[in-house]
Amino acid sequence: MTGEAADATVALIGLGEVGRVFAEDLRALGVTRIRAWDTAFADPGSRASVNAAELGLAPSSSAAEAVTGATFVLSAVTAMNSVPAASSAATAIDPGAWFFDLNSSSPGHKRESAALVDAAGGRYVEAALMSPIEPRRLTSPFLLGGPHAAAFRAEAADGLGLGAARVGADTVGVAAATKLCRSVVVKGLEALLSESLLSARHYGVEREVLDSLSNILPEADWDAIAGYFMSRSLQHGVRRAEEMEEAAATVAEAGVTPWMASATVERQRWAAQWRDALGQEDTISLVDAVRAAAGLDPKEQA
């Protein structure tokens, strides 16, 4: 157990997939004082409520209650709630407390959140997760930004298990721009592969399409990649759609019309409707399950 972890009081604002990983891994490091707040706690059947029950965490009554006395505040909410989360936390954050903003929000929204937290005496640290949280969990590559990022990396990151975190810039918004411009590609690939295979299956050419990808792209198991990307859209489409709205705003702020990012918003939001199709044994079975759930005409069998 490190001294930093043993002495930490942690507040988790948002107890979804990422919040749960932080709770589990910080406990493994010896953190015993963990509080949590999530707007979804109002629904006892929500993922946040289930996570709290399974982790044995008593939900706080508000964000302010959760952050009072905390030395480290993690904000991991949906993109559209990033600024409201910072605003709520700022009403009670302790002077000098770290506010680790891991939300996939635009550079502009990051700057709004930073202004709220820093004005209240907290130390805002912009963070961008540059990979899925699994399998590396807290050792995933986190890109840090803002005037407090270097101090956080030097004083707190290792003790909190964030050994792979690195400082990208001392200004807020750079890490967000990096993350969201990357998302145009990654979430766009999810949308492209989904749309391509759902259509290719209708014409009976799905195998030819997948096999042909290595003609212009690096040799890979494109069947497995397509299945993974499609499943991520089905499972996290709502969150990904919100993230891509922030990506579209980021592209627009650069003076570029966000045609691709905006289209990805719609495909990700559409995919989220068919989450019940998950659990298939292979990629084509997943494609068929989505087509059936969406009421698309069945593929004609030879």
3-state secondary structure labels for all residues of the chain: CCHHHHHCEEEEECCCHHHHHHHHHHHHCCCCEEEEECHHHHCCCCHHHHHHHHHCCCCCCCHHHHHCCCCEEEECCCHHHHHHHHHHHHCCCCCCCEEEECCCCCHHHHHHHHHHHHHCCCEEEEEEECCCCCCCHHHCCEEEECCCHHHHHHHHHHHHCCCCCEEEECCCCHHHHHHHHHHHHHHHHHHHHHHHHHHHHHHCCHHHHHHHHHHCCCCCCHHHHHHHHHHHHHHHHHHHHHHHHHHHHHHHHCCCCCHHHHHHHHHHHHHHHHHHHCCCCCHHHHHHHHHHHCCCCCCCCC
Measured between alpha carbons, how far is 89 from 19 in angstroms, rounded to an integer? 16
User: Two tokens at 88?
Assistant: 């709520």
CA-based nearest residue to 62, from 87, 79, 95: 87
Of residues 110, 179, 187, 299, which has the active-site annotation? 179
Is 179 annotated as catalytic? Answer: yes
CA-based nearest residue to 41, from 20, 22, 14: 14
Antiparallel, parallel or unpaired: β 123-129 and 142-145: antiparallel
Q: Other C-beta atoms within 10 Å of 17: how many? A: 16
Q: What are the catalytic residues? A: 179
